[in-house]
Amino acid sequence: MNKKGSKELPSVLDIPDLKGKRVLVRVDWNVPMHNGKVLGDFRIKKTMPTLEYLENAGAQVLIATHLTNGSIDALDPFVPEGMRLLANLRDDPGEVENSVKFARSLAKQADIYVNEAFSASHRKHASIVGVPQLLPSYAGIQFKLEVKELSRLFKPKHPFLFILGGAKFETKIPLIKKFTKIADHIFIGGAVANTFFRAQGRDIGKSLASEHDFDAKELLELFNTKKIILPEDTVVDGGKILDIGPRSAESLKQKILEAEVVLWNGPMGNYELGYKVGTLKVGKLIADFAKESIVGGGDTLTALRELNLHHEFSFVSTGGGAMLDFLAKGTLPGIEALK
């Protein structure tokens, strides 16, 4: 168990002697699948440096992940030779309940714990916060990199442009509040923009927006900071706003060109229904014109896969909700558990 309160996250690279040690590595291989086949292996690839380091140091490696769709067997081809993949963590209700019993059942299989699941570390689950109470615990290589790169955004270079999309407005309002004090501009698309439109008294028809009754005055005060930019045109179908329009994307191009740093999380339209033109356009603009770019989010990663542009960004986070929570709070349950 690591001493709580320590500022520096203990790294897997600092473990003194790994030869013959049993190491439980929590990864997030909860990747998109279709008909039993993995569609995107970005998150899996990002865990490999840690797994390879442990193997080369002579450790016996156990890999643990949760999976919300598909069979855990579909992940077998990605397991390096000599390592073992445990059963889907979510098969046991003790995982989500953070039960001590389940945490102990995981911990007794290992001598050391490594968290290489930054993208799942916003959850207080047994494999994220329970096991570190029972074993010497360390952060993986990618985990440390995530914390380092995202932390830079708290004191960024300026002009700093934040592009925020998607839905789940409730999780994003604290982030918007915080970054109106940090960013020079926040461009808001997706259903989050619809909630702002509604606060302004605009008719959004059947468009997806927050189901909660947000204080319109509070949202308008945020808008009146002059930091927030809403789409100037939208794609409407069946009475629903489903994407940003071409003028919005073109206006955004100028802001991207002016920015020293661009942060992007979340799609600009309803990606699942196929309204992806705005999102793909924004991704291409950032790849082509941003001086420095940090991007992340589940649907954002899907867009990058479609564009095949991962390599064009300064840093691509594996996190979606975890990335947003870390940016809003400066920490995550999984980080605190390792300190």
**20 Cβ partners below 8 Å, 6+ apart?**
58, 59, 60
Write out pLDDT tens, residues 180-198: 999 999 999 999 999 899 9
Token digits of residue 221: 């005060």
First to last CA, the chain: 9
pLDDT in tens, 200-228: 999 999 898 877 666 667 788 888 888 99
What the block records as the tokens of 12 is 């897997």
Which residue ranges make up each domain of the chain? 12-147+331-338, 158-291
pLDDT in tens, 282-311: 999 999 999 999 999 878 888 888 888 888
For the domain made up of 12-147+331-338, the CATH class stated in words is alpha beta
Question: What's the rounded mean pLDDT across residues 69-96?
Answer: 96
Give the type of residue at 197. Answer: F
CB 103 within 8 Å of CB 126: yes
Q: Tell me if 12-147+331-338 shares its fold with 158-291.
A: yes
Q: How far apart are alpha carbons 189 and 240 in whole angstroms?
A: 14
53-67, 76-90, 171-185, 238-252: least confident range: 171-185
pLDDT on residue 337? 98
The model's pLDDT over 222-272, given as tens digits with 9 standing for 90+, comes to 888 889 999 999 999 999 999 999 999 999 999 999 999 999 999 999 988
Instruction: Give the pLDDT score at 169.
Output: 81
- CA distances (Å), 207 to each of 131, 211, 239, 240, 298, in order? 43, 11, 7, 4, 21
State whether CATH 3.30.565.10 applies to domain 158-291.
Answer: no
pLDDT at 5: 39
Has residue 314 got a pLDDT over 90? yes
> pLDDT value at position 267?
93
The mean predicted confidence, pLDDT, of the chain is: 93
Rounded Cα distance between 109 and 102, Å, is 12
